[in-house]
Structure 1
Amino acid sequence: MAGAYGFVRRASREALRLLVVGVGSLLIAAGFVLALLPGHLGLPLLVIGLILVLRNSPKARRQFIELQHRHPRMVFPVRRLIRREPEVFPVLWQQALRLERLIVPPTWRRAGQLRRRYLRRRA
């Protein structure tokens, strides 16, 4: 009798884990689609989906670590967002600076100047 009870517990735990991974995968897909549309709803869904999948799937966690080793600069912002206490505003600011550096010519860049002028720490 105890063996059957243990089997049922393991099976139900595995089914719940697969259900959570499935929900996380759906959130990732929906977040990706919404990230392509105007608006900002896609990023939170992507992050929540990644959290669910990476915490419940060892295979996905291994793939994420391999991706992190191959492309550390691309994955680092995602890692900062999926922590227990995510650093949302610093990640958004860093990505805005990267986008500005990618698109805007050096003489037109103003984000760093604005930060130094208005968001500087007061002594």
Structure 2
Amino acid sequence: MALGFLIIGLGILIAPLPGPGGVPVIALGLVLLLRNSWWAKRQFIRAQHARPKWVYPFRRLMRKKPEIAPVFWQQALRAEKVVLRKRPSRQLIRVRKRARRLLRRAFR
């Protein structure tokens, strides 16, 4: 359990850095913690009921065959929605489409 908490703490420290480095590290720590602690399982289920949109990406990353690229794409779209309250510009839509094509090619 201590190793799981340590890895989650490391992921939280990495999270503010550019890139998605913190999310997979936190997911790995959660996997270790959830497999070894009944208390953590109950807390995770409570969090899932309270904030399903926040917990869902972690659940997808904790599967046996995680869908890494779709999870990051979904989170990028959510972040874009928070940052841009108005309708996105045409340039942003083009950049998004190019990024999606590159991700699809990379993870085939």
Task: Please list every run of 5 or more consecutive structure 2 residues that lacks an aligned counterpart in the other structure.
Answer: 103-108
Larger radius of gyration: 1
Would you say the 8 A contact 1:81–1:88 is kept in 2? yes
Range that drifts further, 43-52 or 101-110: 101-110
TM-score using structure 2 length: 0.78
Q: How far did residue 36 of structure 1 move?
A: 2.0
- Equivalent residue number for residue 3 of structure 1: none
SS at match of 2:41: helix
1:45 partner amino acid = V
Same amino acid, percent of matched pairs = 46
1:1-123 to structure 2, matched below 5 A, reads 21-104=1-84, 105-108=86-89, 109-110=92-93, 114=97, 118=101
Which structure's relative contact order is higher, taking Cα pairs within 8 Å and 6+ residues apart?
2
Between the two proteins, the alignment pairs up a number of residues equal to: 99
**How much does 1:118 deviate?**
4.6
Distance in 2, matches of 1:98 and 1:111, equals 17
| TM-score in terms of structure 1 length | 0.69
Shift of 1:110: 1.1
Question: What's the C-alpha RMSD, in Å, of the aligned pairs?
Answer: 2.5
Name stretches of at least 5 consecutive residues in structure 1 with no aligned partner.
Answer: 1-20
Q: Distance in 2 between matches of 1:70 and 1:111?
A: 35
SS at match of 2:15: helix
Distance 1:33 1:111 in 2: 32
- CA distance in 2 between counterparts of 1:64 and 1:90 reads 22
Moved over 4 A (4+): none
